[in-house]
Structure 1
Amino acid sequence: MKGFLGEYEATLDAKGRFLLPAGLKKQMPDGEMKFVINRGFEKCLTLYPIQSWEPIYAEISKLNDFDPKVREFRRYFMNGATDVEPDTAGRILLPPNLKEHAALDKDIVLVSAFNKIEIWDAGQYKKFFESFSSETFSNLAQQVMGKANEAGM
């Protein structure tokens, strides 16, 4: 899988469903339309194509169950993870508990995040970028990418 690119606006209907934008559908590996949706690390949801989810699940299942930090991480990360796929009309239903977690109302933004898609409330997503100055972004880029360059990447 090469990954996703782009940001796409969508609208939730009264039942909490949205249409997967055509631009993202075209990027799906082998046209596969099975996903796992879960809480994101920020106040968003993460939509994993099944090909991206399976290696993560396999890695988490190998962790030491006797370590309390592992159990805590598993509970937070796995709690709420749900299999989803588009209905016959192409809509994906957001589980109510996850929709509430990310405070999704009507207008949402689907954002590529390499091998997964983040789902944000449109207003929250806009605020996130408005609060991030170009100087802050430049410093972050130096910290993150500077380390990558030092490692020979």
Structure 2
Amino acid sequence: MGKPYFRGQSIHRLDAKGRLRIPTKFREVLQNHYTDALVITRMGECLLAYPPEEWEKIENKAREFSQVQPEHRAFMRYFISSAEECEFDNQGRILIPPFLREEANLTQDVLLAGVLTNFEIWNKSTWDAHIKLDKDSYQKIMEFMAGTGL
């Protein structure tokens, strides 16, 4: 069955109601290794989609955060409070809540990028702009990653 990782990219179209079809290869990871649902939250200019079991690990760590530490409170307000559990309809689509669609500027063309234990949901144009920037600094990124032992 392979490792429970989300890999690769897939371009899809958001329908008028804000529903997004999740690619078969990502659904198979969910169905074979996790609960067949997603928890979606915001991160910068994209959304992050987690299997519920991976999201629970984040919540368990976040529960240990200090209530008085400003960075912890900011993380909880920004990242945790925007999380929404999304279930699949019988056509393999999820409904992305309007405030999350707006946050990531999701209109029609959407790119999903697998990043191991979760995947990112991007406005395709925003993704293209980020990839161009990343290509411009690719050598520096690779040097940094080499320093991590990768």
TM-score, length-scaled by structure 1: 0.88
SS at match of 1:45: strand
Give, in angstroms, the shift of residue 27 of structure 1.
2.2
Q: How does 1:3-152 map to 2 (within 5 A)?
A: 3-28=5-30, 29-30=32-33, 32-40=35-43, 42-133=44-135, 136-146=137-147, 148-149=148-149
Q: Secondary structure at the match of 2:110?
A: strand
> How does the TM-score come out when normalised to structure 2?
0.90
Note if contact 2:39-2:83 (Cα within 8 Å) is conserved in structure 1: yes
What SS does the corresponding residue of 2:134 show, helix, strand or coil? coil
Distance 1:75 1:31, change over 3 A: closer
Q: Which has the larger radius of gyration?
A: 1
Moved over 6 A (4+): none
Instruction: State the 1:30 CA deviation.
Output: 2.8
SS at match of 1:52: helix
What is the deviation of 1:138? 1.4
Count of residues in correspondence between the two structures: 147
Quote the offset at 1:100 in angstroms.
0.2
Change (3 A) 1:105 1:62: same
Identity fraction in percent: 30
Measure the CA separation in 2 of the matches of 1:97 and 1:18: 15
Q: How much has 1:94 moved relative to structure 2?
A: 0.5
Task: Say what the alpha-carbon RMSD is for the aligned residues.
Answer: 1.6
* Aligned residue type for 2:107: D
8 Å contact kept, 2:34–2:52: no
CA distance in 2, matches of 1:126, 1:46: 17
